[in-house]
Chains A and B, each alone.
Chain A
């Protein structure tokens, strides 16, 4: 069983603000889902040593096509000043 503290820790990692009641229902749901998916522990280790069939496919690091006009992308900013996206100051001076 996953603890309430675990749920709070996960929510923080996932950047999700949870209400108290949801913490409890998630504790129950995630515990029962983990019990079910825990079946995969039955997979034998030897099979893990074979050369994997799945691999990452990376594209060349070159620009092929720009998707979307600049103005349309800028329009989507939640807060905009001219062509700039307004974000919160992250680095602050020591008080």
Chain B
């Protein structure tokens, strides 16, 4: 029999409820795979020492009558989400020894549900990147081809699920950081509506863009994790309750922004995309062309707003209260040296870029314009979603690149072209596997992205299930 770690969350839950397996069995199965694969894939930065004890507790809770769908399910947690008493480093030297002093709200909710935390996963430092190459603890690798990146920034969480080292995971998505690696590794990854999931206890990168998102092998499993973590939270003033937005329409129409796909998408990725559209057609969906005239501006807009917010958020890491601390001759040097040593090159680059676009004389030309473009984009999406249930694109224009292939930062940023939009507009979006493409001798997965109206995660799950 294949490993228990290959079960879906739904299947594992049924087997546990029936008494066929225990949470401890599941934890053992995941740890076995960690033992076999993590050295090569570098998906986990740390595997927790108490996984089996956590699983044992979950089994006791089940015996006492509890039956939450995530009870006893082993999950991987991205290293920028706080778990009280454990190190949370954001894969940065800056926070290498930082111990979280409280639980993020998403962690508190998963703990109440009885999930088992396997470990903290590798990522691009402070979630800045699309490949998990920018980790202070070495790159994570793609389980389908270890010479390639798993995507990022939640690459460790996604690789852990794809390689059956956990049944599901949490990542964070600021510009595609859950969906793009899900596409590269052949799993499901979702970014909820902005505000649907509390950001309390997530390390802030772009505060108007960040959302924690679930990762799993199927849409059903993704939905289970999402249901467990969502909800309004007094600790995040931007969080919203169910029903905050009006209900999305149901007309069995799926929109395709054809103009956006006209160039820059690999031909075989486009073929898989068309095949998936045919699959939806066969199930009664009507495929319609839509126009989002400003969509081509999304990436430029994102790479102004994100660094502006990130450079502001990262100002807190100054070596004074916590984190890496170096002493120079003056206070200014204390800051400059702590930050130079604590932050890696990509983080320094984005801090510099953010500082530039916010500086006097450039603010109106960059940040002001980007904010205006974001408004236009949001209106265009809202308009388009009055006529269709979901908007679809490939998740990324290409499959996973080789490690080191995208050394030029701009070429790496271009992989985010289809994912950043949902972060700018706040819409929920999901990546669902749409088949494989061949590069050299490797078969590589690619993802199909669905975007729905604000608050209409249900549409993502419904149409997403039709694609499986």
Contact = CB atoms under 8 A, between A and B. Distances in A.
| A and B associate | yes
Given A16-B336, A26-B349, A37 B331 contact: no
A75 B238 CA distance: 30
Interface stretch (B58-66, B98-106, B131-139): B98-106
Q: Is chain B's binding surface mostly helix, strand, loop or mixed?
A: helix
Contacts of B320: 78, 85, 87
Interface string A48-61: 10101110011100
Contacts of A43: 294, 297, 369, 372-373, 376
B461 interface: no
Nearest to B352: A10
B378 to A, nearest CB: 5
Contacts of A10: 352, 355-356, 359
Interface in A1-40: 2, 6-7, 10-11, 13-18, 22, 26, 29-30, 32-34, 36-40
Contacts of A68: 101-102
A94 interface: no
B101 A69 contact: yes
A52 B345 contact: no
B421 to A, nearest CB: 14
Contact of B366 (A7, A37, A42, A67): A37
A57 B238 contact: yes
Contact of B297 (A6, A40, A52): A40
Nearest to A23: B352
Interface residues of B, number: 65
A22 B351 CA distance: 14
A44 to B, nearest CB: 8
Interface stretch (B180-188, B260-268, B299-307): B299-307
A40 B370 contact: yes
B331 A88 contact: yes
Contacts of A54: 208, 371, 374-375, 378
Nearest to B319: A78
A65 B235 contact: yes
Interface string B295-323: 01101110110000001000100111111
A14 B312 CA distance: 9
B234 A77 contact: no
A78 B319 CA distance: 7
B18 interface: no
Which of B208, B351, B352, B353 counts the most A-chain CB atoms under 10 A from its CB?
Answer: B352
B345 A78 contact: no
Given A40-B304, A53-B378, A72-B99, A90 B331 contact: yes
A52 B368 CA distance: 12
A50 B237 CA distance: 25
Contacts of A67: 101-102, 200-201, 235
A16 B339 contact: yes
Contacts of B250: none
Nearest to B362: A34
B273 interface: no
A15 B336 contact: yes
A5 B333 CA distance: 19
Given A40-B366, A68-B101, A14 B355 contact: yes
A76 B98 contact: yes
B259 interface: no
Nearest to A15: B335
B297 A42 contact: yes
B108 to A, nearest CB: 11
B234 A50 contact: no
Given A16-B343, A47-B376, A59 B352 contact: no
18 contacts: A14-B352, A14-B355, A15-B339, A26-B352, A33-B413, A38-B300, A40-B297, A40-B301, A41-B369, A42-B297, A59-B234, A64-B235, A65-B234, A67-B101, A68-B101, A72-B99, A76-B321, A78-B319
Closest 7 CB pairs of A and B: A68-B101, A78-B325, A76-B322, A59-B237, A17-B340, A17-B336, A72-B101
Given A14-B355, A39-B300, A59-B237, 18 more contacts: A14-B339, A15-B336, A16-B343, A16-B351, A32-B410, A40-B369, A40-B372, A43-B376, A45-B372, A48-B372, A50-B379, A53-B379, A57-B238, A67-B200, A76-B101, A78-B323, A85-B320, A90-B331
